[in-house]
Amino acid sequence: MSNERDDLLMSYLDEDYMSTTSQFSWNQFQDIDAHYFPLVNLFQAIDVSQLTQAVKPNRGRKKRDDSPCVKPLVPILPAGKITPEKEDQMKKEASKRQERLIKNRAAALLSRKRKRDHMNFLEEEKSSLSNENLALKESINLLEKENLVLKGILKSDNKKNYDNGMILMIILYFFALFIPLISTTQTSNIVFKKKAKKFVN
């Protein structure tokens, strides 16, 4: 009797239904209540004679396109209760996440502050170096002007020395010309005086 009932069930069920339900083992759900499997309960309540009358006209398996695919009902297990230990663990994890978030924010703020201070220091150093550069340029301009003035003074001194040398050379030249004349006039005067004395005597 049981074998005949199993054969009738196998011939009645669809191929898709058998292919999907074959993946599940009855041993996995033997502890679940019977209301999770309404189709099985329905078949259990049907008389064998009714099944034979329903199956006799079509003894073979139904084609895939003749009947809609019947999918098994997936049992919905109730959610497990949260134990106090699990709740404490969840609170600890949440507090750790919050602490990490606070630390990350503090580190980001400190990093931004350091970058801002470094940028301010660089700006101040840049302005200081720019002022020093301007001061050095002004000093260079003053030194160039002073150099030009000293060159002009040196040229004028050289010109004055050249003029003084020329005057001295001219004076010496005139002395060289007049000294022989003076000596000849003196000698001629001496000779004239001697002749005059002889003539008087």
Give the domain ranges of the chain. Answer: 2-77
What interhelical angle do 48-55 and 2-12 show, nearest 10?
40
Residue 62: CB partners within 8 Å, gap ≥ 6? 14, 15
What is the rounded CA–CA span in Å between residue 187 and residue 105? 122
User: pTM of the predicted model, to two decimals?
Assistant: 0.33
Q: How many residues does the chain have?
A: 201
What is the rounded CA–CA span in Å between residue 142 and residue 124? 27
Q: Residue 153: what pLDDT?
A: 82
Q: Residue 150: what pLDDT?
A: 86
C-alpha dist (Å) from residue 141 to 151, 153, 155, 163: 15, 19, 21, 33
Binned average pLDDT, 10 residues per bin, the chain of 201 residues: 59 51 46 45 47 51 53 54 82 91 94 94 93 93 89 77 73 70 62 59 56
